[in-house]
Amino acid sequence: MIVTYDERVAATADRLISMRDGMFVDDTRMAGSYTRGLGGLIGLEG
């Protein structure tokens, strides 16, 4: 689980759950998530 406001990090997920005022407001399965994963995004993969 990752909690973020960064859209680049969120793009690595296969599921996005949005909250507002402590309540779940949306649950979306991401079809085209970033294929390199979080490690590639932050420079840990070659």
Write out pLDDT tens, residues 5-28. 888 888 788 888 888 998 989 888
pTM, whole model, 2 decimals?
A: 0.52
Domain count across the chain: 1
Determine, yes or no, domain membership for 41: no
Determine, yes or no, domain membership for 40: no
Q: Which residues contact 36 (CB under 8 A, 6 or more apart)?
A: 12, 45
Determine, yes or no, domain membership for 2: no
Determine, yes or no, domain membership for 28: yes
Written as one string, the DSSP assignment of the chain is ----S-HHHHTT-SEEEEEETTEEEEEEE-SS--TTHHHHHTT---
Q: Which long-range CB contacts under 8 A does 39-45 form with residues at least 24 apart?
A: 41/8, 41/9, 41/12
Determine, yes or no, domain membership for 30: yes
pLDDT at position 12? 82
Higher pLDDT, 33 or 2: 2
pLDDT at position 33? 52
Q: Supply the range of the domain harboring residue 31.
A: 7-35
Residue 43 has pLDDT above 70, yes or no: no
